[in-house]
Amino acid sequence: MELLPSLLSTLKAVDPKAVKEEYSVVCSQTLVLKSKLGLTCEVGAIQENVKKNRYKDVLPYDQSRVVLSLPVADCDSDYINASFIQGATKNRSYIASQGPLSSTVTDFWRMIWQYDVKVIVMACREVEMGKKKCQRYWTPLHQSAAFGPFTVCNEEEASPTDETVVRTLRVTYNQDTRSVVQYHFLSWPDHDVPSEAQGVLSLLELARTTQGTHTSPLLVHCSAGCGRTGVICALDYIHDLLVTKQIAADFSIMKVVLELRKQRTTAVQTKDQYLFIFRAVTSMFECFLRTSGPLYSNLSELQKPKNKTTRRPSTTNRLSQAAMNDTYAVVNKSKHSQPKPSANAATRSPSPSSHHYDNNLGEAALYSTIKPRAKRAAMPIHTASANEMDGERCASLGNDDFHLTSAQGAASTDSEYEVLSSSDAQASSVCSPGHLGFNCRVQKPRGPRDLPAGWRQL
């Protein structure tokens, strides 16, 4: 089983075009095997049996056909268009059959009763593309019907998925009663393949669970009993090879299909069906490796999505955050304690388009970058009354004298700011750094720098 991971990698890497080209080799090898093994279809071609074949070109090999021996009053023929297929183990086999015709429904139930079939897998609908593909051999729920000497009652019907119907049929013959379970797959178009393989694999898993250890053959049929029937038999065959540890280094899907074709003519009928086996086997191997224990635990680890690592903030972001912290430390610093200027703040050069305001002229300069506000109407600056200066904002300043001082190092432009500072360095005001932190700014007065002498008189 150590070969399974490498086989899985090979299946994943296979080219669909190469697989379809390989199908041509399968067809040519089938003719070689038929000639080499001397396979014939004479019984199905005789006149009395021709009408029992749904398709004239699909006949069972004489060497592997199902022979009917159960006597019934209406018919004593031993022919039915069905073939035995040997499974991967000695106690495992299949009956690959065409869908019954209205004239062969009794023979169909003869075959089921004679070989004690417990599970039926049906891979077609009754009508497809406006054509009759299979005669109904069961009854509606809780109803009974007679097919020759056989009485069939549909006791239970369930739909585990949207594409599967499970029916439990009670069959009575000569006062003897048996139970047969039918798995009806609805989503497999004729001469085509399902959109995904998981539905078919799940259906087969349910069928194997119902079959259990019973040694009777598993009955598989579609319309002709070749294309879809061959795919289902091939997938179940490979599954048995897998669980019984018979997968060898020379494992080949082509060999499996050729083995089936030696027993049922044209099993796996199209290139798309052949490619579908590759995809389904890939999914089967992946599922087996995930659930087979610690031996293949490393594969499941590789298939887990990688955990997303938490991205730490970059050095630039951290410096920007530190710079922002420094800025707020300057604007909102307490009244009695002056923090030391940080290295980042001291070495940072101001932007040429920004203006800087000195918050503490008596100590080392600490700067905070601010954006210029829109210009407001010029306000007369004088010391006559506090109420005339700035309303309620400067009411607490009393009648102290104030003077204007230009910002140090600032260019003499119309947009530069003036610093409003008290003549008393220790005075506490809303404009001082120790208060609420507001920057009181006024525009440069228009006119001469020196005030007229008459304005200085009270």
Convert the pLDDT of each residue in 107-165 to its tens digit: 999 999 999 999 999 999 999 999 999 999 999 999 999 999 999 999 999 998 889 99
pLDDT at 162: 87
Q: Which of 80, 76, 77 is nearest to 60 (CA)?
A: 80
Q: What is the pLDDT of residues 254-273, one digit of tens each?
A: 999 999 999 999 999 999 99
What is the model's pLDDT at position 192? 77
| The pLDDT of residue 329 is above 80 | no
Using a 10 angstrom Cβ sphere, with 0-12 exposed, 13-18 middle and 19 or more buried, the burial of residue 101 is middle
pLDDT of residue 292: 73
- pLDDT on residue 81: 98
Query: Does the pLDDT value for residue 345 go beyond 60?
Result: no
Residue 40: pLDDT band with limits 50, 70, 90: very high
SS3 147: strand
Look up tokens 């003036």; give the residue: 418
In a domain, 159, yes or no: yes
pLDDT tens by residue, 428-458: 444 444 445 455 555 555 655 666 666 666 5
Is residue 168 assigned to a domain? yes
Looking at per-residue confidence, does 264 or 426 come out higher? 264
Task: Give CA–CA dist 237/257, Å, rounded.
Answer: 10
What single-letter DSSP state applies at residue 141? B
In a domain, 204, yes or no: yes
Average of per-residue pLDDT across 391-413: 44
Structural domain including 73 reads 39-289
Whether residue 354 is contained in a domain is answered as no
In a domain, 284, yes or no: yes
Asked, for residue 44, whether it belongs to a domain, the answer is yes
Which positions are annotated as active-site residues?
A: 222
Proportion of the chain above pLDDT 70, given as a percent = 63
When divided into structural domains, the chain yields a total of: 1
Residue 276 included in any domain: yes
pLDDT top residue among 47 and 385: 47
CATH number of the structural domain spanning residue 254? 3.90.190.10
User: Pick from 145, 148, 141: which is nearest to 168 by CA?
Assistant: 141
